[in-house]
A and B are shown apart, each in its own frame.
Chain A
Amino acid sequence: MTWWCAASNEPWSWVWRAYPGVWVFVALLAAWGAAALKGNFAREAARPGSDAPARRAGRVAAYGCGVLFCWMALDWPLGRLGGGYLLAAHTAQYVLLTFFAAPLLLLGLRRGPGDGAGLPGVHPLLSLVVYNGLLAATHVPALVDAMMRTQWGSAIVDLAWLVGGIALWWPALHPDPERRLAPPLRMGYLFASTLAPTIPAALLMFGDYPYYGVYELAPRALGLSAQQDQQLAGLIMKVIGDPLIWFSTAFIFFRWQARLERDEREEES
């Protein structure tokens, strides 16, 4: 029994494998989130005139989806494929944890106005440094080759991506909406976050030879050669990760515009 997905050197098989460490992590994440949501809802209920109760279902759904994406990324089959067979699956894990799970968890933990006491605010530059630093470290071939061979190493890489994702999205989706970056800054920040990952993505897509021994020397899975796998990984990093950021940026822009127009109409009336 292995508790977390890591390189095993066994031939790939679609036979289901249990990873209890992943289940424990996901259960803890869900339990912690449930407690946090309960606390948030209780504080809001105590505040007269709050419109927050109407948004409770949305927040529960967002947090639940965030937990679900974590589970999908870490457990069989994607976790196993990414742990020791395909770099493309490993990159899909990165995308799910960083661009899906992390923002949804933060959206779910949204608090009511003025209820952000005790939550740290993080300077966007620091967020970018943390996110890009983790991104760089978890894509260095020698480090990946060393880490992915052990369950601990593999778990650390997976969790680093979740932490990196939370660091990335924190200034844009701070649980206290009043402490989020202003919309224009938020858009600029999100655009800036897409720049650095272009480098590893391009290296993966256009590299002459596989960078990662752990995937190059793994038993082949899903009919992909090591080179095709690496190119697909680069493609996933940019083709899924970037459009999601652009979509978020566009969403912020249109909401911001709508609010400006509403404010103008209110002033005129």
Chain B
Amino acid sequence: MVALAIALAFALAACACAPSRRGPDAARGGADSTRGGAEPAAGRLAGYEAPNPKPKPDFVLTDFDGRRFDFRRDTAGRLTLLFFGYTHCPDVCPIHMANLAAVLSRMPPDEASRVRVVFVTTDPVRDTPARLKDWLGAFDPAFTGLTGTKAELEAALRATGVVPTVAQPAPGDTSYDVGHAAQVLAYGIDGRLRAEYPFGTRQKDWVHDLPILLARAPGLTILGAYARILPTHDMGAGYFTVVNRGASADTLLGIRVDGATHEQLHAMKNAGGMVRMVPLGPTPLAPGDTLRLREGGSHFMFDLAPNASAARAESLTVTLRFARAGQVPMRVPVLPYADPAEPAVEARAR
């Protein structure tokens, strides 16, 4: 009974606790770091969603290998997490970086590779390229560190629209603090600001939000994805709905299911009173179009190796391939095969 109470308490609390620390950096001009409330609704972000998504800022700085880095161009097509900080930062910067590194290291590699973390120094005097590389490399060697002249960095801050940095070191002082914005800015793969993550963002928030942000292809909304696997654990089928809410047409070209040996999109075709399953070829989606894959109708099928771990997984990583939006990964929950009713699965990706 007591053991049950402890487990229950942990489970409840693990779902309920909310970040609420306010760091000194935040107090010096960052975004509000106090976050309250419960878990976000399905499909909603834990971060602060940008009501009017601004385009990715246009600035050019120098990376820690000495190469010019055009932020807009060199991060195109990837979910980009931009943060302004400094390596001598005692709290906010290392915690943000450590939490991002911890979460990315546990994401499926193909999803993690679609996320780019860019750290722009606010302390170019002490943050030499070598120091930036060492410091960021300690979290994740894939993180990118940028520096530049004072004027270039100020221009980058202005272009991004975050508060300017504050540092007034006394002559000879090498242990000064730098006030800076404390939020991580998340730019979607469409190149627009999608959400902000103040200090206080927890790893569980990133775990929740990154797959959603990755699945937000330009103009495309993917809803209600789920899959069922046969009791023999060697094949399954899945369903989802794609809505093109963008201004441009796109085409669904194919699908990939992680852990599957073979996968295919299928349509049901009535030929002479016989309903047959045929491959679903490239499917155009004009603006406003909806493609619905449902039980008894179009669907995707996949074969699994008999002992594949995916065969008993609670969710699958499924990647849709579009002509314009590119690869759009999503997490697809695996539902019990025996449940005959089509489930009311909330949006898994938007």
Contacts and interface: CB of A to CB of B under 8 A. Distances in A.
Interface of A: 9-11, 128-129, 132-133, 135-137, 139-143, 145, 195-196, 198-200, 203, 208-214, 216-220, 225-227
A118 B16 CA distance: 44
Contact of B3 (A199, A208, A217, A219): A199
Nearest to B200: A217
Interface of B: 2-3, 5-7, 9-10, 12-14, 16-24, 90-91, 94-95, 98-99, 102-103, 106, 199-200, 202-204, 207
Contacts of A212: 17
A9 B24 contact: yes
Contact of B14 (A133, A196, A211, A227): A211
Contacts of A209: 102-103, 202-204, 207
Contacts of B17: 141-142, 145, 211-213
A145 B10 contact: no
A239 to B, nearest CB: 19
Contacts of A141: 10, 13-14, 17
A128 B10 contact: no
Nearest to A132: B2
A219 B102 contact: no
A132 B7 CA distance: 12
Contact of A213 (B91, B102, B202): B202
Given A145-B20, A203-B10, 13 more contacts: A128-B2, A133-B2, A136-B6, A139-B6, A142-B17, A210-B202, A211-B10, A213-B20, A216-B95, A216-B99, A217-B23, A217-B202, A225-B102
A31 to B, nearest CB: 35
Given A142-B17, A209-B207, A213-B19, A200 B6 contact: yes
Contacts of A135: 6
Nearest to B35: A213
Contacts of B5: 132-133, 136
A9 B7 CA distance: 29
A210 B95 CA distance: 13
Contact of A132 (B6, B19, B200, B202): B6
Contact of B95 (A10, A198, A219): A219
A135 B3 CA distance: 10
A210 B20 CA distance: 15
Per CB-CB distance, the 10 closest pairs between chain A and chain B, nearest first, are A11-B90, A132-B2, A141-B13, A136-B6, A142-B13, A209-B203, A142-B17, A219-B91, A140-B9, A140-B13
A211 B3 CA distance: 18
15 contacts: A11-B90, A132-B6, A136-B9, A137-B9, A141-B17, A142-B12, A143-B13, A145-B17, A196-B3, A196-B6, A199-B6, A216-B99, A218-B95, A219-B95, A226-B99
A220 B89 CA distance: 11
